[in-house]
């Protein structure tokens, strides 16, 4: 009996050991296989199709040199977790590279070969204690392909949503034969210089280039095109136009010929450019702060409404336009979300949020031979208001909205054979013989993307800058610049990079709350307009009564005046009370919605568990 018991115990121990051995072996073998399932709605942890296509087309080996201070004592947990996520993402690049991408990971300890290698690529350690080498943190990447290299000196955790794009672009830059040539034509100081937001005060120091220009310089060969140039270089892969000077027929004719030769152009045109209006630069202010190419685009079937900007209560942005003013919903600062962004076009399908302050609108239909594709558009409630008044937040301007049907477009693409806007030829040439040298009918298809806003590219409207361990970093507020880069990459043929930048844990707006606020804003705006009408009517009646009185009795109020004033006061109190009730109703609806959400979150899951337990108990009792 004793031997039998011992044998059973021995068999049990062997079985447990065998089971643990099988478990450890299986865990080791399965750990070598990278199989994951991404169940997030936007597939945030899966490399995009553009990255996969670019990696599959690689014709040369690429080495990713990842420098990560994993062994630093007291490494902050957020940095450690982020570094691990970067390493995991780089392994995804290796898996998709199919042998063409190799990953090398280094831990740059003080005075080590890894530290020297990192510094050779310009990757320096970051940290608050600059005197302590042991506390320096390395978190950078060098991409090497043959003799070419691209370096990301510091991978900022605040910019994690841009990480895949940064790595993909670095690989793309090191493996392509040449950089595309991009023409730049603008009247704004996008290359740096005087501060565009100094409210007329002289700048303390020269301003750096706008962020989007810093990015474009690393992606393209930038060719500056003068607004006075009689011709656009024919060897440009694309032309970027940002708020060009208006009324220049020489420029318009040059653009006309460029597009009709099959050129590709992206134009940002603004009927009321806030950056230009607040620049304090007399050269930029000459001719006003509006810009359009209407003389050109009318021949294409579309027109930018001059002197008017779009107001849309359903796309209102909470902002403060005056110093010391409390933020409030501004219907001329349009916050576009899914409903206003074309999800079926490759340029905009990956975008989620965009901000267009005081944007205009394009009206009309494509001319014969052209195809028009809407890219950005407001809701059916949008209408035009006076541009100058809206830029200062004038309530009277916002109360006078010109309805438009169908709604104007904020951005569009035209493709096909463009008709000339100058059938008589070059307006600057009087020699009839020379005119025959001008381009006749469009020989090939061209592409033009028109956007009714230029302020959206300015740093303050699209990104936030910060400082991490003494390194300047940035974080995108929205997808404004993603739209710019996507459009340019499509025009220059770099299709694989389109859509990578905007992959992130996107903002999840409370659509029900926004709808409630928009509905209340419309009611409040209508009541406010009625109150203003009452005020103006009362003032008009008082003026009329005052003119009919004896000049010697101007300081004495008549019975009619007293009655009118009293009626005005009562009407004002009654209307203000109604406005108060509208606001209270809004808060009540929003609070009730929030309360319902809390009840569902806090009580819903426990209630389901209780019901499951009761059902389980009843089922067992029946059995």
CA atoms within 13 A on the CB side of 150: 17
468 in the Ramachandran plot: left (φ > 0), alpha (ψ -120 to 50) or beta? beta
Which segment, 201-205, 374-378, 530-534, is predicted with the most confidence on average?
Answer: 374-378
Across residues 600-618, what is the average pLDDT? 75
Neighbours of 541 (CB within 10 A): 16
The confidence score (pLDDT) of residue 202 equals: 52
Calculate mean pLDDT across residues 492-515.
58
Strand order in the sheet with 383-386: 308-311, 383-386, 402-403
Which pTM value belongs to this model?
0.66
pLDDT surpasses 90 at 619: no
Lowest mean pLDDT among 147-161, 204-218, 284-298, 328-342: 284-298
Q: 49-159 belongs to which CATH class?
A: alpha beta
Mean per-residue pLDDT of the chain: 78
Report whether pLDDT(183) > 70.
Answer: yes
* Whole-angstrom distance, CA of residue 93 vs CA of residue 396: 55
pLDDT at 325: 62
Range from 133-147, 156-170, 433-447, 562-576 carrying the lowest mean pLDDT: 433-447
CA–CA separation, 49 and 138 (whole Å): 30
The confidence score (pLDDT) of residue 359 equals 94
| Pairing, β 411-416 against β 370-376 | antiparallel
Query: What's residue 538's pLDDT?
Result: 61
pLDDT for 44 equals: 56
Note the pLDDT of residue 129.
Answer: 47
Rounded to 5°, the CA angle 166-464-317 comes to 115
pLDDT of residue 504: 46
Say whether pLDDT at 245 is over 80: yes
For residue 386, pLDDT over 50 is answered with yes
Which residue did the predictor score with more confidence, 590 or 95?
95
Over range 566-586, report the average pLDDT. 65
pLDDT at position 426, please? Answer: 82
Compute φ and ψ for 485, nearest 5 degrees. Answer: -65, -40
Indicate the CATH number for domain 178-307+340-379+405-428+437-457. Answer: 3.40.50
More confident residue, 204 or 457: 457
- 372-396 burial: b if 16+ Cβ within 10 Å, else e: bbbbbbbeebbbbbbbbbbbebbee
Q: Which of 494, 504, 499 is nearest to 216 (CA)?
A: 494
In this model, does residue 289 exceed pLDDT 80? no
Tell me what pLDDT residue 158 has. 76
Does residue 427 have a pLDDT over 90? no
Cα(305)–Cα(313) distance, integer angstroms: 19
Is the pLDDT score of 542 beyond 70? Answer: no
| pLDDT tens digits along 35-56 | 566 655 555 567 888 888 889 8
pLDDT, position 26: 76
* pLDDT interval class at 452 (50, 70, 90): very high
Cis omega (within 30 of 0) for bond into 131: no
Question: Is the pLDDT score of 182 beyond 90?
Answer: yes
| CA nearest to 187, candidates 288, 318, 111, 55 | 288
pLDDT at 569 over 60: yes
pLDDT bracket for residue 301 (50, 70, 90): very high
Among residues 451, 457, 413, which one has the least CA distance to residue 216? 457
568 vs 503: CA distance, rounded Å: 56
Beta bridge partners of 102: 63
**Residue 505: band (very low, low, confident or very high) from pLDDT cuts 50, 70, 90:** very low
β-sheet bridge partners, residue 416:
370, 446
- pLDDT of 405: 85
Which has more confidence, 302 or 490?
Answer: 302
In terms of pLDDT, which residue wins out, 470 or 571?
A: 571
Does the structure show a pLDDT above 80 at 478? yes
Could you tell me the pLDDT band of residue 100, with boundaries at 50, 70 and 90?
Answer: very high
CB count within 10 Å of CB 215 equals 16
Q: How sure is the predictor about 436, in pLDDT bands with cuts at 50, 70 and 90?
A: very low
- Whether residue 445 has pLDDT greater than 90: no
Q: Using CB atoms within 10 Å of the CB of residue 177, give its burial: 0 to 12 exposed, 13 to 18 middle, 19+ buried.
A: exposed
Assign 285 a pLDDT band (cuts: 50, 70, 90).
Answer: very low
Contact 469, 137 (CB under 8 A): yes
Distance of CA 507 to the CA centre of its chain: 12
- Taking residues 4-14, report their average pLDDT: 71
Q: Pick the closest to residue 421 from 259, 564, 180, 264 (CA basis).
A: 259
Task: Return the pLDDT at 572.
Answer: 63
pLDDT attached to residue 546: 58
Domain locations along the chain:
49-159, 178-307+340-379+405-428+437-457, 512-548+557-598
Of 352-361, 442-451, 544-553, 608-617, minimum mean pLDDT range: 544-553
Residue 204: pLDDT over 60: no
CB 446 within 8 A of CB 344: no
Write the pLDDT tens digit of every residue in 333-378. Answer: 999 987 899 988 878 887 889 999 999 999 999 999 899 999 999 9
Strand-pair partners of 467: 472
Region 421-432: what's the mean pLDDT? 75
- Alpha helix ranges (H) inside 32-159: 49-56, 77-97, 113-120
């Amino acid at each position: 009996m004793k031997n039998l018991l011992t044998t059973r115990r021995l068999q049990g121990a062997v079985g447990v050991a065998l089971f643990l051995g099988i478990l450890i072996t299986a865990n080791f073998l399965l750990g070598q296989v990278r199989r994951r399932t991404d169940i997030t709605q936007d597939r945030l942890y899966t490399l995009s199709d553009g990255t996969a296509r670019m990696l599959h087309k690689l014709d040369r080996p690429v080495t990713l040199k990842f420098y990560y201070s994993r062994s630093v004592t007291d490494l902050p947990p957020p940095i450690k977790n982020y570094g691990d996520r970067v390493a995991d993402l780089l392994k995804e690049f290796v898996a998709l590279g199919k042998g063409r991408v190799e990953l090398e990971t280094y831990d740059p300890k003080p005075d080590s070969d890894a530290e020297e290698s990192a510094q050779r690529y310009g990757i320096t350690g970051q940290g608050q204690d600059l005197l302590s080498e042991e506390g320096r943190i390395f978190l950078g990447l060098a991409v090497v392909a043959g003799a070419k290299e691209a370096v990301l000196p510091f991978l900022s955790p605040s910019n994690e949503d841009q990480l895949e794009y940064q790595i993909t672009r670095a690989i793309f830059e090191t493996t392509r034969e040449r950089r595309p040539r991009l023409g730049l034509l603008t009247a704004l100081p996008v290359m740096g210089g005087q501060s565009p937001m100094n409210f007329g005060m002289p700048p303390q120091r020269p301003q750096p280039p706008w962020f989007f220009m810093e990015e474009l310089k690393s992606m393209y060969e930038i060719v500056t095109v003068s607004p006075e140039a009689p011709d656009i270089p024919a060897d440009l892969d694309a032309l970027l136009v940002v708020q060009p000077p208006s009324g220049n027929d020489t420029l318009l004719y040059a653009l006309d010929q460029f597009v009709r030769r099959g050129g590709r152009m992206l134009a940002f045109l603004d009927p009321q450019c806030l950056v230009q209006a607040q620049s304090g630069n007399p050269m930029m202010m000459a001719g006003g702060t509006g810009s359009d190419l209407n003389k050109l685009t009318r021949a294409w079937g579309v027109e930018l409404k001059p002197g008017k900007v779009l107001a849309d209560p359903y796309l209102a942005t909470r902002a403060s336009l005056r110093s010391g003013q409390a933020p409030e919903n501004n219907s001329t600062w349009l916050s576009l979300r899914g409903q206003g962004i074309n999800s079926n076009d490759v340029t905009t399908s990956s975008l989620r949020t965009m901000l267009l302050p005081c944007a205009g609108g394009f009206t009309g239909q494509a001319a014969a031979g052209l195809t028009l594709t809407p890219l950005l558009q407001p809701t059916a409630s949008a209408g035009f208001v006076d541009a100058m008044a809206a830029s200062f937040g004038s309530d009277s301007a916002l109360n006078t909205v010109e309805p438009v049907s169908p709604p104007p477009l904020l951005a569009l693409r035209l493709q096909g054979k463009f008709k000339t806007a100058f059938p008589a030829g070059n307006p600057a040439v009087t020699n009839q013989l020379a005119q025959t040298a001008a381009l006749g009918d469009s020989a090939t298809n061209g592409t033009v993307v028109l956007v009714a806003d230029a302020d959206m590219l300015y740093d303050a409207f699209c990104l936030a800058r910060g400082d991490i361990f003494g390194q300047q970093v940035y974080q995108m507020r929205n997808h404004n610049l993603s739209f710019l880069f996507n459009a340019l990459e499509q025009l220059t043929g770099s299709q694989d990079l389109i859509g990578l930048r905007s992959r992130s844990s996107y903002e999840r707006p409370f659509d029900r709350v926004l709808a409630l606020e928009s509905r209340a804003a419309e009611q409040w705006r209508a009541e406010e307009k009625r109150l203003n009408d009452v005020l103006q009517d009362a003032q008009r009646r008082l003026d009329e009564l005052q003119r009919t009185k004896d000049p010697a009795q101007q300081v004495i109020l008549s019975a009619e005046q007293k009655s009118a004033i009293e009626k005005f006061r009562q009407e004002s109190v009654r209307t203000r009370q109604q406005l108060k009730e509208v606001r209270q109703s809004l808060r009540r609806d929003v609070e009730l919605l929030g309360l319902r959400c809390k009840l569902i979150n806090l009580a819903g899951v426990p209630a389901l568990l209780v019901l499951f337990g009761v059902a389980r108990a009843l089922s067992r009792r029946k059995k």
